[in-house]
């Protein structure tokens, strides 16, 4: 009979530690670490010290801890958290607001080397200047692998001019990645990103966490305005439409009453306003701009006539003696 396999103590201790963190903090964030380096994680731990705990564990231990926490706490939506843990992930436990945590991650951008056997997402440049590398075999690596223009100066290798070794979308092979790393070229932006978050029963997917808030607000305002217009056209009575509907009904009722062959004393101002508007319309239809033009022409002729009738004054020294 095959005995039951004994679970190593360190695994039991890790599960217990994760459960304790689940109970201690209200928010659990999933961080995918496949493209992060250990130094980046260690630095972020220092920044978040006292506010959050980043714990890296094997996926099966993370799932086991969350399953036990779900049974003990009876909290909702923990199965969603389980489904959104990738193969290589760290769990970040915190009481911070999830969007505040995202901003902390965004404020700490790292520049990292190009990954071997991967496509570069950006142009890769090697700047001109002293590489600090001694002369020797490495110069052939620079010339042959990256086709860099080099020269020897003060027993070190110099790059003669800024050189682009890769365009965005180009493949970076193992040798090229090794030489770029040797030169200290770190062209790739690396951010710690939250893949999924659970906060005391509420869940946040990556697209919600990294939503463009300004664009969302503008879309919301536009949707609200469009919905209000449709509601007004359909005559739907609601808190947002009642005032506009009353104003619309008043305007339409006035328009109907004015057309009736009766006089209503309370509407005297409306009758005068309609009469003035009709008179102005007729005036523009009949005379157009002709009246104003004629008046201006007559005024000009009158001024010219007056100027001719005025006696001319003597100009010069003689006028001083009368």
Domain membership flag for residue 205: yes
Q: Tell me how far apart the alpha carbons of residues 125 and 147 are, in angstroms, rounded to a whole number.
A: 12
Instruction: Domain of residue 275: give its range.
Output: 215-284
Which token pair is 60? 């099966």
Domain membership flag for residue 298: no
Domain membership flag for residue 100: yes
Global pTM value: 0.62
**Number of helices (H), then strands (E), in the chain:** 12, 14
Longest distance between any two alpha carbons in the chain, whole Å: 147
Residue 112 has pLDDT above 80, yes or no: yes
- Are 157 and 24 found together in one domain? no
Domain membership flag for residue 4: no
Residue 25 has pLDDT above 70, yes or no: yes
Residue 317 has pLDDT above 60, yes or no: no
| Count of domains observed in the chain | 3
Residue 316 has pLDDT above 70, yes or no: no
Residue pair 217/139 in contact (Cβ under 8 Å)? The answer is no
Beta bridge partners of 198: 28, 203
Task: For residue range 193-246, list pLDDT tens digits in order.
Answer: 999 999 999 999 999 999 877 777 887 788 877 887 787 777 777 777 788 878
The pLDDT of 11-32, averaged and rounded, is 95
Q: Which residue has the higher pLDDT, 39 or 230?
A: 39
- Are 91 and 128 found together in one domain? no
- Are 86 and 21 found together in one domain? yes
Q: Which residue has the higher pLDDT, 67 or 314?
A: 67
Last residue of a domain, one of 181, 209, 237: 209
Residue 313 has pLDDT above 60, yes or no: no
Domain membership flag for residue 314: no
Residue 4 has pLDDT above 70, yes or no: no
| CATH code, 145 | 3.90.105.20
Residue 54 has pLDDT above 80, yes or no: yes
- Are 20 and 126 found together in one domain? no
CA–CA distances in Å: residue 145 to residues 128, 163, 173, 291: 17, 13, 10, 86
- Are 29 and 98 found together in one domain? yes
Residue 303 has pLDDT above 80, yes or no: no
Domain membership flag for residue 180: yes
- pLDDT at residue 28, as a whole number: 97
The pLDDT of 59-80, averaged and rounded, is 95
Domain membership flag for residue 56: yes
Q: Which residue has the higher pLDDT, 234 or 64?
A: 64
- Are 140 and 168 found together in one domain? yes
- Are 82 and 93 found together in one domain? yes
Which token pair is 113? 């080397």
Residue 88 has pLDDT above 60, yes or no: yes
The residue with tokens 């440049």 is 125
């Amino acid at each position: 009979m095959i005995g039951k396999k004994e679970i190593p103590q360190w695994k039991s201790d890790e599960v217990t530690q994760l459960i304790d963190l689940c109970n201690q903090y209200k928010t659990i964030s999933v961080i995918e670490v496949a493209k992060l380096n250990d130094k980046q994680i260690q630095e972020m731990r220092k920044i978040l010290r006292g506010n959050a705990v980043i714990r890296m564990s094997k996926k099966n231990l993370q799932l086991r801890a969350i399953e036990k926490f779900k049974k003990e706490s009876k909290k909702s939506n923990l199965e969603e958290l389980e489904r959104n843990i990738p193969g290589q992930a760290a769990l970040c436990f915190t009481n911070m607001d999830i969007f505040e945590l995202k901003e902390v991650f965004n404020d700490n951008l790292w520049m990292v080397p190009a990954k071997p056997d991967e496509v570069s997402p950006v142009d890769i440049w090697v700047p001109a200047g002293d590489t600090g590398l001694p002369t020797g075999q490495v110069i052939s690596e620079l010339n042959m692998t990256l086709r860099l223009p080099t020269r020897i100066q003060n027993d070190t290798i110099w790059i003669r001019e800024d050189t682009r070794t890769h365009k965005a979308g180009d493949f970076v092979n193992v040798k090229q990645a090794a030489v770029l790393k040797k030169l200290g070229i770190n062209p790739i932006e690396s951010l710690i990103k939250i893949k999924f978050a659970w906060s005391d029963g509420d869940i946040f997917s990556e697209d919600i966490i990294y939503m463009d808030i300004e664009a969302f607000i503008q879309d919301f305002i536009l949707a609200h305005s469009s919905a209000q217009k449709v509601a007004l056209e359909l005559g739907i009575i609601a808190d947002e439409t009642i005032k506009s509907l009353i104003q619309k009904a008043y305007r339409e009722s006035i328009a109907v009453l004015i057309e009736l062959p009766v006089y209503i004393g309370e509407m005297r101002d409306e009758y005068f306003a309609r009469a003035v508007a009709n008179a102005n319309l007729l005036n523009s239809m009949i005379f157009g701009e002709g009246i104003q033009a004629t008046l201006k022409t007559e005024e000009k002729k009158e001024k010219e006539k007056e100027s001719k009738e005025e006696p001319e004054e003597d100009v010069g020294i003689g006028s001083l003696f009368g």
